[in-house]
């Protein structure tokens, strides 16, 4: 029997397949080669009639089959319905490995699926491999990123979640379109106890573009107060950057959780990351140390952030940021001169 690696294809609220699916699909191809040429397939849970449209979106992901559970009750995400659908399909398909993105939805859904299937789940992996015994070797940071652990699972499917941007999506042309296989799951027996009353989409100006930003300006404990973050925001706006924060800044109430970079926040890989008043605890740096270039401003020249920075300035951010705001060239491709 052909072994299967199943990847959950999360449908976003505006009906796109989440980018993390393509990253996982690409990684899974690599795993499949080490797993007796296993098949890489997708699990799609969606309202009726969309699977055919999605077939196009799955191009280039290299998957063979799309297992689809379609029902109009699956229009918006619900832990209860989606768990039921995923569990039933996983029981039938019996994949060796089941992967999900560590998104809000993935982190809500994955542990319900794994508990229902009596199997193990490794969260937020930064490395996936197949070992010499054909097992999924899932590596993840733990203890605030100070320790890496490679975790194996005794039961099937071996489950793992991976954050967006940890792996790269495929860059190959479509080989052949995937087959759509419809699966019927009886949702009638589910008594739905959670009801979505309202959804307030963030305005474009409020959406934190950390995931896609080319430049991120992030603040930590050293930004001290709301005024500090206002200054940071002003600087970020000026150079066209998204604003990030360390956990300390979030705990101080200076920034919201969706701005948090690091272990309990996001993983980011911008072209340039400017860390302001961030000491560089490993639980923060683990979420940003793959940035192309890192610039750090901190008053303590011995702060660990400088160990991973390309350029650093030891000094007071409250003096340096206003100074930087004076350089017109930072905001435009204008001549390099300081404004009066």
1-30 binders of another protein (CB under 8 A): 12-13
In the complex with another protein, the residue whose CB is nearer, 170 or 261, is: 261
With beta carbons less than 8 A apart as the criterion, state whether 218 and 288 touch.
Answer: yes
What whole-number distance in Å separates Cα of residue 287 and Cα of residue 266?
6
For residues 167-206, which are near another protein according to CB under 8 A? 193-202
Determine which residue in the list 50, 144, 169, 233 makes contact with another protein, applying CB under 8 A: 144
- Strand pairing class (136-142; 127-130): antiparallel
What whole-number distance in Å separates Cα of residue 215 and Cα of residue 293?
10
In the complex with another protein, the residue whose CB is nearer, 9 or 178, is: 9
Stretch that binds another protein, among 2-10, 53-61, 168-176, 288-296 (CB under 8 A): 288-296
For residues 227-286, which are near another protein according to CB under 8 A? 239, 250-251, 253, 256-258, 263-264, 271-272, 274, 281-283, 286
Three-class SS of residue 126?
coil
Using alpha carbons, select from 97, 89, 43, 32 the residue that is nearest to residue 66. 43
What whole-number distance in Å separates Cα of residue 25 and Cα of residue 4?
12
With beta carbons less than 8 A apart as the criterion, state whether 272 and 214 touch.
Answer: yes
Determine which residue in the list 8, 22, 229, 306 makes contact with another protein, applying CB under 8 A: 306
Rg (CA), the chain: 22
Question: Does position 152 bind another protein by CB under 8 A?
Answer: yes
In the complex with another protein, the residue whose CB is nearer, 175 or 329, is: 329
- Strand pairing class (293-298; 65-70): unpaired
Question: Does position 289 bind another protein by CB under 8 A?
Answer: yes
For residues 72-101, which are near another protein according to CB under 8 A? 79-80, 83
Site string for another protein, 26-65 (x = CB under 8 A): ----------------------------------------
Alpha-carbon 39 to chain mean position: 24
Question: Does position 122 bind another protein by CB under 8 A?
Answer: yes
């Amino acid at each position: 029997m052909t072994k299967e690696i199943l990847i959950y294809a999360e449908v976003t609220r505006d009906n796109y397949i989440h980018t993390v699916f393509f990253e996982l699909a690409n990684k899974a191809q690599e795993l499949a080669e080490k797993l007796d040429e296993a098949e890489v397939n997708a699990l799609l849970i969606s309202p009726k009639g969309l699977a055919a449209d999605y077939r196009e979106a799955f191009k280039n992901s290299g998957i063979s089959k799309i297992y689809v559970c379609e029902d109009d009750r699956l229009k918006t995400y619900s832990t209860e319905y989606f768990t039921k659908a995923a569990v039933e399909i996983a029981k039938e398909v019996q994949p060796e490995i089941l992967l999900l993105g560590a998104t809000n939805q993935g982190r809500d859904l994955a542990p319900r699926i794994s508990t229902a299937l009596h199997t193990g789940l490794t969260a937020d992996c930064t490395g996936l491999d197949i070992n010499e015994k054909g097992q999924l070797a899932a590596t993840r940071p733990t203890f605030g990123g100070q320790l890496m652990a490679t975790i194996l699972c005794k039961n099937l499917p071996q489950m793992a979640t991976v954050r967006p941007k940890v792996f790269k999506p495929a860059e190959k042309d479509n080989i052949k379109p995937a087959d759509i296989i419809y699966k019927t799951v009886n949702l009638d027996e589910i008594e739905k106890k959670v009801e979505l009353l309202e959804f307030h989409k963030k305005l474009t100006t409020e959406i934190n573009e950390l995931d896609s930003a080319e430049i991120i300006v992030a603040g930590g404990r050293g930004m001290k107060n709301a005024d500090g973050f206002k200054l940071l925001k002003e600087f970020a706006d000026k150079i066209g950057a998204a604003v990030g924060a360390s956990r300390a800044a979030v705990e101080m109430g200076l920034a919201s959780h969706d701005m948090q970079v690091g272990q309990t926040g996001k993983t980011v890989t911008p072209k340039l990351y400017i860390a302001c008043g961030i000491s560089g605890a490993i639980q923060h740096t683990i979420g940003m140390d793959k940035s192309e270039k890192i610039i750090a401003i901190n008053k303590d020249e011995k702060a660990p952030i400088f160990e991973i920075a390309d350029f650093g300035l030891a000094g007071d951010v409250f003096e340096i940021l206003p100074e930087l705001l004076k350089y017109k060239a930072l905001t435009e491709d204008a001549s390099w001169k300081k404004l009066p």
